[in-house]
Copies of this chain bind each other. A is one copy, B any other.
Amino acid sequence: MCGKTNRATASRGLGAPAHARDETAMIVRERPSAWKLFFVRRGSMMPRIWSQLVGVGVVSLLIVAAHRLAPGLVPGMNPAPFALIGIALSIFLSFRNSSCYDRWWEGRKLWGEITQGARDLARQSVMLPPAPRKRLLDGAILFARATEHHLRGTRPTKTPDAAPAETPDAILARLAALVAEALRGKEIEPIEALALNDSLTRLSHALTGCERLSNTPLPFAYTLLLHRTAYLFCFLLPFGFADSLGWAAPLATMLVAYTFLGLDALSEELEEPFGLAPNDLPLTSYATMIEIHLRQALGEDDVPPAPVAQDYLLH
């Protein structure tokens, strides 16, 4: 399958400079063959929904058995109404799913802006004297780290430089003062200050966007409405399948439940792109790559190791 070669050649670093590239990757595994994909566990939604699936299967079996034993008491039903409910539900679940995916992808784009902003600062500050340049780029590294912890609600364990309590926005204010001083000290041209300020505004834009994603979940009513309907539907479905599918009904019900509840669980994971679930964004790695990049731009030796996936996962 030519897809394999494709994937393998495109094994990817996180925007790492070429020499750091080979040591890091977000997903280091080759894409498994079509057959093996059935047995992959990592990244699957199975660990999150297996208990619900088993529940659906057991209820299904009981309903089919009861229907066989006492068809008068537990009647089989025409599957057509279930088709109507199921398709409507698919359409609404699909909406929720793409909204959550859009949030995840917007989160990724915003971290791309942080990466670009940090690089632009490095490029645009090339005419600054070494001391203020180092302060500027150290600040940018600190900004990435602080934003990571700000979004995840965690605390930095090893602070690379200075005060741990400084907020991302306070760091940007400090850097803006630094640029303003350099401009008044005639160390940089006005248009260079303009470019540096634009990069700070880009970082500010990314920060506000990340906070917006982080503090504004999807309206809670969606979760309630779709979650309830999906569960009720999965537990009622065996009635619709009992007559038409017989003992195969539990299997078919579990297949439907696997898709519906799996998408529901995945949507929930993607809704919070800055969390710590397996499909969330590896913010720590992004911040580390920014630090590596800026330290190399400063010509420093104290470069942290590139992030390495453990058990196929980056953090």
Which of A39-47, A60-68, A132-140 lies at the binding interface?
A: A39-47
Number of copies: 5
With A75-B246, A215-B15, A259-B225 in contact, is A119–B169 under 8 Å at CB?
A: yes
Judging by beta carbons under 8 Å apart, are B84 and A7 in contact? no
Q: Is A284 an interface residue (CB 8 A)?
A: no
A12 and B3 alpha carbons, distance in the complex (Å): 28
In chain A, positions 180-200 with a C-beta closer than 8 Å to chain B are 180, 183-184, 189-195, 197-198, 200
Contact code string A188-231 (vs B, CB < 8 Å = 1, else 0)? 01111111011011001100110110111101111111011101
CB distance from A100 to the nearest CB of B (A): 10
Interface of A is mostly: helix
Judging by beta carbons under 8 Å apart, are B262 and A225 in contact? yes
Interface residue from B6, B98, B236 paired with A277 (Cβ < 8 Å):
B6
Count of A residues near B, CB < 8 Å?
153
Contact code string A39-61 (vs B, CB < 8 Å = 1, else 0)? 01011110110001000000000
With A84-B87, A240-B81, A255-B229 in contact, is A9–B276 under 8 Å at CB?
A: yes
